[in-house]
Each structure stands twice: as structure tokens, then as C-alpha cells.
Structure 1
């Protein structure tokens, strides 16, 4: 009897230790899994992940299930995942897979963005059986922001933008990941308009740049669909107005990302304003 009980306990431990085959349809889910040292089986839009997210890099062995908004259902079924994690923005409408889908929204609830991201990280940590690791990352991130805030004495308003094309830009409000990072660092967001979309991003015309104070610091998030330094030299509008007298370009950071994206942005921002 004792041997049977020991065998059952060993079997239970093996089941609990089994690494789940998880498809992270949303990049935010993939980032969080990698952050917690857990590799997804597959992701959506892997081919352009590097262009928009970049870090953490996905191993080559991670498979691509097609578009996040319209993944290859047959391929997903053939991969035989234990679970599919995604956001409500990329939900799969398929009766065969519905019992395998877990919705985790980092940006959809009405709480502040920073709290929402922390809750999303914790949820994924629990799914991965890495609750303590998730709590530790949340704690360390909080300490990082508190320590950084005490050291900063920067007073200029900061506008965080991303070019859509030569005449239009995305700009990030306090309800975005970038805006939340500014708030945690005690820095002023130059754009105080509220938006109703999930990620706290607004689209503005290049003419709207004239409305910002002259002392505004512009942070441009890559990718940029043209060479910005050349455009600033050649475009008469930019030459005349000197809008981007004080600007820095940052490498791609996922604007709807998780805590790793938030920390990366904060660290890179600190480097260019200190």
C-alpha cells in the first residue's frame, strides 16, 4: 500500500511538472511567457514580432500560427496545444478549440494600466505554475521605478510618438504602457488628451506638433517607415519649425507589451534624458 501511495505521489509530481504546450496568440502573452522563462509552442505573426517587439527574442523553434486576428486553425489543431492564451482582441471563434482558450486582458479593464499589466503577469504566472516568479518580477519592477524616480530631476514635458507615415503619428497618452511608465517615473506626459481605445494611443497630424511647447522632448519609437534624420533635413516644415530640436529614437518596444517592455522603455528613456 505504501509503495502504491509513493508511486501515486511521484506520478502527481510528474503531472504537475509537465510543461504545458501553450500557444501565445498575442505578442503580450508571448513576451510575458519568455519573461518568466517559459517558451511558447507558437505565436501569432511571428514573422513580424521582431519588427515591433524585438525583445525578448523568440527562439527559432517557436512556430508561427499565422495572423493574430485570423490564425491557421487547422495548424493550431495539429500542434495539439494544452492551452491557447490570448486577449479578447484576438479571440479565436472556433468550437473545437473553445475549451483550450484562456483570455487574459492586460489593457481592457478600467483600472490603471500599470495595475492591469501586473494582474496580467500574475495570471500567466499562475497558469505556468510560476506564481512566485511572477510576483518577484512585479516586486522588482516596482522597486526599479521607485528607485529611478528618486534619482530623476527631469522637468521637460515628454511626447512619445511613433510615425505611421510622413504626415501622421501615433502618440501615447497616460493610458498607454509608455504613459504609465512616465507616471511611475514621475515624469510629465506632454499629451494629456484622453482616448477611448484599449492601448491609450491617438493618431495626430504632423501639423498637431505645432501645439506642443517648444521645450518638449520627443521620444520616437521605432520602427519608422522612413529615415527620420533625412526627413528632418529635407522636409521644409520640420526645418522651419524645428519641432524635433530635442528628440531621440528608441529601438522597437511593444507599446501594448508586458512588464519587460515597460522596464525596457523606462531604462532606455532614462539613458537619453539623464
Structure 2
């Protein structure tokens, strides 16, 4: 789409008034980027749709945090992100510049705000709804990532990164990011093996509290961060039901009684400051009787390690696994 056409459509979208339905911090540095080569680019996204660009995109809006992290790590700072304040809370692997504009929430981004930035491209995740895609595609090219796939989340993450890299002309940077991730996995696996921890158990969760009820979201074998642990030679101990997209399941404190392995380490994320495990379950007799609680194998992850991110967040998780089992 030409810049002239986009500029004209900014005024049009205003008139239409569209609205979309829509431990210490260890921050890795994004990959140093080389200038993207010019010329037409064609990308086939997760829908199987070919998206054609006159040149690699340089002004990009990201509507999901994992995709925003990937862009920054490739050396492309988004001009707009859905909920950048939340991103700053949950994602530290690839920080946003202060100038990045807020284009609404992840669940309901603003089409007006997006189009007003005159982007070359919008990157969004599958599952946000066809209505949002169709509205945006009236004004700007859109590529849709798969975002999660519990059958092979590591492979899916690699594919999403490579697709985004192709659209922004940063394939060399993507190759380096993935090579660095592979190195981190190989080195971490070796350290864990040398520590005699291969095969030991882990569980990963987050949770929330409504009234006096604590709900716990478990990360099964198909969740991205679980697959990283498995690649390191560890064993995910959660055997409960999980969904086919994210690899996530839900339980309560009674449901954790099946986690009986004496060497199990339990990891959880509470970057928003709401720690239901330390606070909501304090004094709960079932919780305090669990082996991993009694043995001190309970680990609140450092704030800002995004569970659904790209290679840089993945390396942060790997560091935590290695520090726990081989430190």
C-alpha cells in the first residue's frame, strides 16, 4: 500500500470512527540490526494468506507482546504496541522505547489509533477475531502469527519469528537469535546433565484469587516454557488436562497434591505484584503439606520474564532452569 493512500485513509478512518473488537532482572540486549534491503516482499502468514509489501516494513504496529518482543529483538522498534505499560511490566527481554504509542488493549485495540500512525504493517496474533483483521486490512497490510500451538510450541515460535523477520527484512538477525537460543539450550542441557539433574521434575504455574478462592493455571508439556524445560532434559510433572493451543490447564490447590516427586521444583510468575502462592495460600494446610513447599523448592520467577515470548524471553527461562538444577 502506498504512503499516499495510507495518508488519505487516516482522514477516512476518523470519519468512520471504527473501533476494534477486539533473583535480579537480567535483560538481554536485542540483536544489532543491519539495514533492511529494499524491494518487494511477499510473506505467507499463519492463515495461508500471501501478504505483499512494496518494501520490508519499517513502521510496524504489534498487537501482542510476544510479537512486539520479536520485533524489538530483530532491531525494529514498533511505532505502536497494544498496552505498552503492561508490556513493560511483563516483558524485560526486549524493552520498548518511550516513544512507542499505545494503541489500546491487547483484547480490544483501537483501529483509529493504529491507522493514525500510518504503519507499513500490523503484526497480530491468531485468535483475535476476523472482524479486527478485516477492519485493519482496509487500511494497512496485516500478518497474523500462529502465536501458540501446544503440539510444537518451540517450532511455532521459530516459524513466527522467521515470518516477522521476512516481513521486516531482518532474516539474518532472526538466524542469529535462533542460533543463540539453540546454543543456550545445548549448554544448559549439558550443565544440568553434569549436575546429575537430567530427568528431574518441574511444574510451572500462575494464578489468581477471587474472593477466598485461588485458581491455579498449570503449564502442561505443550506450553512454550515447558517445552524449553523438556529440551534441557527435565520432566514436566503436570499430567492434568490442558488445551490444544496454549498447553494450559486449570486446577485448585487440591489438584496440586499429585505433584509428589521429592525433587520437583515449582516455578511461578507474579510480575504484576499479585502473588497468590505466597499470599493467597498462606496458612492453607494442603498447600503447606506439599513436598515442594516443605522442601523450599518453590520459585517465584524474576519479574518480567514473559511466558509467551520469543527467543530472548526463552533464554531468560533457560537461565532460571539452569540456575535451579545446576547452580
TM-score using structure 2 length: 0.73
- Which residue of 255, 279, 283 corresponds with 1:208? 255
Gaps of 5+ in 2: 1-36, 41-54
- Number of matched residues? 262
- TM-fit CA distance, 1:257: 1.4
Confirm or deny: 8 A CA contact 1:199 1:256 kept in the other structure.
Answer: no
Shift of 1:227: 6.3
Aligned partner (choices 140, 156, 163) of residue 123 of structure 1? 163
Measured after TM superposition, the shift of residue 174 of structure 1 is: 1.2
- Distance apart, 1:136 and its partner CA: 1.5
Specify the alignment match of 2:84 in structure 1: 46
For 2:320, the equivalent position in structure 1 comes to: 268
User: How much does 1:156 deviate?
Assistant: 3.0
Higher relative contact order (CA 8 A, sep 6+): 2
Change (3 A) 1:226 1:142: closer
2:298 paired residue number: 247
RMSD: 2.5
In the TM superposition, what is the alpha-carbon distance from 1:82 to its structure 2 partner? 0.7
Correspondence list, 1:75-114, <5 A = 75-91=113-129, 92-95=132-135, 97-98=137-138, 99-108=140-149, 111-114=151-154
Between structures 1 and 2, the one with greater helix share: 1
Stretches of structure 1 that go unaligned for 5 or more consecutive residues are 1-12
Which of residues 273, 284, 298 in structure 2 aligns to 1:235? 284
CA deviations on 1:73-121 (whole Å, 9 max, x unpaired) are: 111111111100111122524445345111111314x751111111111
Q: TM-score, normalised by structure 1?
A: 0.86
TM alignment of 1:122-141, pairs within 5 A: 122-141=162-181
Residue equivalent to 1:3: none
Partner of 2:234: 187
Cα drift, residue 272 of structure 1: 2.3
Cα deviation for residue 265 of structure 1 reads 0.6
Give per-residue Cα distances to partners, 1:114-137, cap 9 Å, x unaligned: 111111111111112110110121
Q: CA deviation at 1:228?
A: 4.1
C-alpha distance in structure 2 between counterparts of 1:185 and 1:234, whole Å: 34
Secondary structure, in 3 states, of the residue corresponding to 2:75?
A: coil
